[in-house]
Chains A and B, each alone.
Chain A
Amino acid sequence: MAAIDPHSTARPPAALAPTATAPTGHAARGGHASIIVVLLLALAPLVASAAGADYLVALTTRIAIWGLAAASLQMLIGAAGLPSLGHGAFVGIGAYAVGVAFHHAQGMDGALGFLAGGGADDLLVTLPVAALAAALIALPIGAISLRTSGAYFIMITLAFSQMLYFVTVAFADYGGEDGLSLWSRNTAAGLDTGDAIVFHYICLGLLALWLALAHRIAGSRYGLVLAAARDDDRRLRALGRSPYGLRLAAFMAAAAVAGVAGALNANLIGFVSPTPLAWTTSGELMVMVVLGGAATPAGAVIGAAILVVLEEMLGRWTEHWAAILGPMLVLAAIFNRGGVLGSLSRIGGRLRGGGRR
């Protein structure tokens, strides 16, 4: 195929393209893992509804949605080395975009009415609005937070998300602490979003889209410079490139994707409240990424699946599930280095001949 293209000689051969030589080969392995993860999430609800376990459909939808949010955070933590502990805020902003738009679509009044116009209740409108709102709010927060690094960055992003939490609590027009109810799911260009399986595939489709995009970004020039800044900030500066703008773009993009996840989650649970903006959601998102393996987007989705399933299972077993989940997270932090995917690849390496690592 390359021979047919007259320009191909001017380009580097495919073997030298960034994706093929991506550092440590994680990108390639992660790519396979992403495909497997998406396939499993695509099959699970069919099996579940065939077996008559309809509640499992909602569970896999939750995994797809939180997997999307966690995978967006993975771009910050794993690919760019920016450990944001305030990512839940953008999930919350996305949810409020849906809630506020729906509220006004029902002809009700509110302080943000001038922004929401007539309101909207179709995903084709609300999802881009959610993404845009999250990205716009991420702009000033990122612009300030990215002046710092490391633990400062963790604490500052956490502080700003807490600020947004209190802001949403203060807005009584939109339910304040109690939040807003969505009486019906957003429509989506005539699709029956009320059908659990249809809605699942909408969420899964968006997750698959982001995973594909995330792998493209990681292998692109932009992704490589971002990774270079993660690994050695000073050397990059010495080469005359400042990573600030690149990082800000990544911060806004990740926020936009988290906003989409929040909009989907609001539709899934039919409810919008300040809860996702509370610091625990940000903590859980970070836990998902680290638990599954921060090196690849697929790891984040696996982490999300583990946490969602664990909470569900432990929650059915005892109301004090957090007393069990907590120590499990501690053990994971101590023993499960590199997350589930990291441990798996270590085991795989050992099985293949032990020489590696």
Chain B
Amino acid sequence: MFALLIEQVLNGLQLGVMLFMIAAGLTLVFGVMGVLNLAHGALYMVGAFAAAFIAAETGSVVLGILVAMPVAALAGLLIERLVIARLYARDHLDQVLATFGIVLFANEMMRILFGPRPLFLNVPDFAAGTLEILPGVPYPVWRLVIILVGLVVAGGLALLIERSRLGMLIRAGAQNRRMVAALGVDIGRLYAVLFALGGLLAGLAGAVAGPVLAVQVGMGEPVLILAFVVIVIGGIGSVRGAFTGALVVGLADTLGRAYLPELARAVLPPAAADQIGAALASMTIYLLMALVLAIRPKGVFGGRD
């Protein structure tokens, strides 16, 4: 019972840090550039496919993950230069139309390049098997590695944003992007760098998640929507909000799926309980989002919209 709880909490953390890596890029791009990018999930998918492809070719999963990051960053840069750069001044509807088109294109390209069947990515040798985190509680090492990677990324991103010149420009851009441009900063280059950084993080998330999930076409969209929930809860443009929101969503989703069906069986007639429990479990994070919004319409750490 207790062991199961520990396991579920760790699973929730693992989902949480993964969501953070996706949501951080999404919220930075939105906060600084005001661009609603539906294609962000596609960068996550590109990262996962790149990792799976390189790992299959070279036999090294670690190499695959290392290659996935620049590949996804490059894809992000390409999308920014070719499409998004033309849409900064436009309203969200045009951005939705264009990035939806990119999603259709990216999904179909992956299907053409790698076929309709899911690819599989193995766990690297050093992280195979399980580790006894408490006496009698084994836990897959790879999931611990994901948690570690996510925490390192979060720390690095916090340092970057709080301590570096780039971070200063990002923070300033999120506050008032016209002013930053007026002060003589090459705002076009800042945007390109941000997009590449967002792509890199999303690609990393896709690559490390590859061994846990199946690498398949369309894997980016459910994650994109979860990332939306994360930044809506955390507040758009706030990396701290994205981190808090991601952990809360990761934990709530995992624990909801683990315990709500049981709870439903305890209070409802058995015939209906399974379905209503399953439905409730998949609703958990959205109910959470509704609750947060009812209290703070701009998210926990949110300011502008």
Contacts and interface: CB of A to CB of B under 8 A. Distances in A.
A207 interface: no
Contact of B297 (A152, A155, A163): A152
Q: How large is the interface on B (under 10, 10 to 19, 20 to 34, 35 or more residues)?
A: 35 or more
Contacts of A334: 83, 86-87, 94, 98
Interface string B252-289: 00000000000000000001101110110111001001
B129 interface: no
Contacts of B278: 170
A163 to B, nearest CB: 4
A140 B283 CA distance: 14
B49 interface: no
Interface stretch (A12-20, A318-326, A343-351): A318-326
Contacts, number: 150
B7 interface: no
B4 interface: no
Contacts of A111: 271-272, 275-276
Interface stretch (A39-47, A216-224, A286-294): A286-294
A206 B286 CA distance: 34
A150 B275 contact: no
A173 B95 CA distance: 39
Contact of A77 (B36, B93, B228, B290): B93
A159 B30 contact: no
Interface in A130-165: 140, 144, 147-152, 154-156, 158-160, 162-163
Interface in A155-208: 155-156, 158-160, 162-163, 166-167, 169-173
Contacts of B294: 144, 147
Interface in A317-338: 320-323, 325-330, 332-334, 337
A83 interface: yes
A283 interface: yes
Contact of A158 (B30, B105, B106, B225): B225
B93 A326 contact: no
B60 interface: no
Interface secondary structure of A, over-half rule: helix
Q: How large is the interface on A (under 10, 10 to 19, 20 to 34, 35 or more residues)?
A: 35 or more
A344 B109 CA distance: 33
Contact of A279 (B104, B107, B221, B281): B221
Interface in B103-158: 103-109, 111-112
A162 B225 contact: yes
A254 interface: no
A323 B232 contact: no
B279 A167 contact: yes
A155 B232 contact: yes
Nearest to B218: A280
Interface string B73-97: 0000000000100110010111111
Contacts of B86: 334
A333 B297 contact: no
Contact of B108 (A148, A149, A323): A323
A286 to B, nearest CB: 6
Nearest to A162: B225
Contact of B225 (A159, A322, A327, A333): A159
A168 B229 CA distance: 20
B225 to A, nearest CB: 5
Contact of A333 (B98, B274, B293): B98
A156 B232 contact: yes
B96 A326 contact: no
B104 A148 contact: no
Nearest to A172: B275
A258 interface: no
Contacts of A320: 108, 111-112
B236 interface: yes
B305 to A, nearest CB: 5
Contacts of A152: 232, 236, 297-298, 305
A72 B96 CA distance: 19
6 contacts: A150-B305, A151-B92, A320-B112, A329-B97, A330-B101, A333-B90
> Closest 3 interchain pairs by CB?
A329-B101, A326-B105, A166-B282
Interface of B: 30, 34, 36, 38, 83, 86-87, 90, 92-98, 100-109, 111-112, 221-222, 225, 228-229, 231-232, 236, 271-272, 274-276, 278-279, 281-283, 286, 289-290, 293-294, 297-298, 305
